[in-house]
Structure 1
């Protein structure tokens, strides 16, 4: 111990004599040597005035000039202790572990994070907690309320003109306002009166419209009734004129023969019957040809007889 103290005194004395910068230099062998800058460490290769510095590795840092051969390790933030995952943005600074949202450090050393306090209904959040301090709650004063957890105290609602307080508010609920019963009745009567007025107005308008339409229809019907009388008179006149001008024509001999109905030839029918024609119970003819049987009505059989 005494030896180390003596060496420190000698080094300080030598530095004082050499007038070395305590922040960027160190004394060695009676000479002021340069240190490596923050974010690096000094390697074994190099000279006093030209040291070889190497960058700190991942999860390491060096926040000042140094002659040490290694950088310092970043602090480990354990997520099982409710810390956020650290983001080491710089190798020149020490990363501080932060508690997750809704948690704060249990002590100044911040070994573990604990949940924030919950402000109950009837209490307001006076100070919102962060990663180092807990939430501070405060009871709502008179005339104010909070109806949910971790909310702020709000002023009780004042009922507007014409309304009364139905349920008085507390520190956990707001005032409930309502319209008095008499005003309810007046409002209902006014609404009913307005509705009836609108209905009556619409009905009168529609009735007037129907009356106008009925007048048009009756006028049209009168015109229609007059037109057939004139048309009938014209038709009677035309028929009389046609009768006077028409000359009766004598039917020709050919038309008389054509208009006569053909007579059945019993001889021809008997011949066809003998050629394989069978008469059914309904009076239809059945023609047999090459093993096929076709049923013919009497009219069809007669037609075939005449066409042949």
Structure 2
């Protein structure tokens, strides 16, 4: 090896050693700072502002002056920046909305409104989901990223309206006492109707109730009429008894005439008069008790007494009635 080559290698080693020594000295002179919460300034580790704030120039290294982010701003890391970051704008005219309330410590994300999905991967605007018509239901409901996928309603289910999220509903099962009046389809439900037997039972019950009410009403009317007839019969019997005891008015008037013509006034007993009283016939102990009524004498049995030539004669009611009839014929 030549002398020049040896000299060149020696110089390279010396330069390398000098560089390494210089780097070591510089590293030893600088303090170790937290890269997440601190920064180095003039050989010192200074404190950063926390998330949700920005740094003002009025603070010190150990105690910085931090300002809270304004509305529609955020800061998601420790920072030395003087301004916060702007929140993205979710345009409602493009059917966009914020996924959740805005935060000052994190970036808000835009999403499609309910019933809409992104029109592209960039999701700059949203379009409405496709609707499934009657007889169809969603196989896969639409969400933020994809559209609705429709399928025909399977047997035993139906859908009667157009919608992107209305699932096919099972047919109604008719309860006891009902039967299927109209079968279901993929667009309409089963129609249940009451069985004829049910109608017949209801009709029989109604007829029995009506007949029962009619019988009760008839029984009440019959009992009320029976009571009225019974009261009328009692009144008639009492009237008939009274009529048998009292002589008829016409017969009584004829007897009065015959007695007045046949008996002289001198032979008729004169009633005795008392002060403030009326004439009362004297009692005859040996003969029957006689009562004077309307100028005629009656016994206790209701027979009439006639006098002829000063002789009293008691006639029964039957004899007096026959005599009255003979007198009327002679007249």
**TM score, norm. by length of structure 2:** 0.54
Q: Is 1:153 equivalent to 2:164 in the alignment?
A: no
**Match runs of 1:97-116 below 5 Å:** 97-116=110-129
Larger radius of gyration: 2
- Structure 2 equivalent of residue 199 of structure 1: 210
- 1:115 CA drift (Å): 1.1
> How many residues are treated as equivalent by the alignment?
220
Q: What are the superposed Cα offsets for residues 195-239 of structure 1, whole Å, 9 maximum, x if unpaired?
A: 4433333322222211111121223334555677899999xxxxx
User: 1:74 maps to which residue?
Assistant: 87
Name the residue aligned to 1:169.
184
**46, 68, 77: which one aligns with 1:64:** 77
> Within 2, Cα distance between the matches of 1:19 and 1:190?
98
User: Tell me, what secondary structure is at the counterpart of 1:33?
Assistant: strand
Contact 1:59 1:88 in 2 (8 A): no
Aligned twin of 2:134: 121
Specify the alignment match of 2:66 in structure 1: 53
The Cα offsets for residues 99-135 of structure 1, whole Å up to 9 and x where unpaired, read as: 3332233234321121122122222234443445433
Q: TM-score, normalised by structure 1?
A: 0.57
Query: Does the aligned pair in 2 maintain the 1:77–1:86 contact within 8 Å?
Result: no
Partner of 1:144: 157
Matches within 5 A, 1:254-269: none
Query: Residue 87 of structure 1: CA displacement?
Result: 7.2
Larger CA deviation: 158-167 vs 140-149: 158-167
Secondary structure of the 1:23 match is coil
Q: 1:82, 1:99 within 8 Å by CA — same for their partners in 2?
A: yes
The CA deviation string for residues 165-221 of structure 1, in whole angstroms up to 9 with x for no partner, is 554433223344557xxx73x655555544443333332222221111112122333
Secondary structure of the corresponding residue to residue 84 of structure 1: strand
Segment of structure 1 superposing worse, 26-35 or 161-170: 161-170
Q: Greater shift after overlay, 152-161 or 69-78?
A: 152-161
Task: Label 1:217 to 1:39 Cα distance change in 2 as closer, same or farther (>3 A).
Answer: same
Q: 1:198 to 1:168 in 2, by over 3 A?
A: closer
The answer (yes or no) to whether the contact 1:105–1:114 under 8 Å persists in 2 is yes
Whether the 8 Å CA contact 2:98–2:108 is kept in 1: the answer is no
After superposition, the CA RMSD in angstroms is 3.9
How much does 1:18 deviate? Answer: 4.2
d(CA) in 1 for partners of 2:233, 2:176: 66
CA contact (8 A) 2:98 2:109 kept: no
Structure 2 spans left out of the alignment, 5+ residues: 1-22, 247-275, 279-331
Q: What 5-or-longer segments of structure 1 have no aligned partner? A: 1-9, 235-243, 247-308
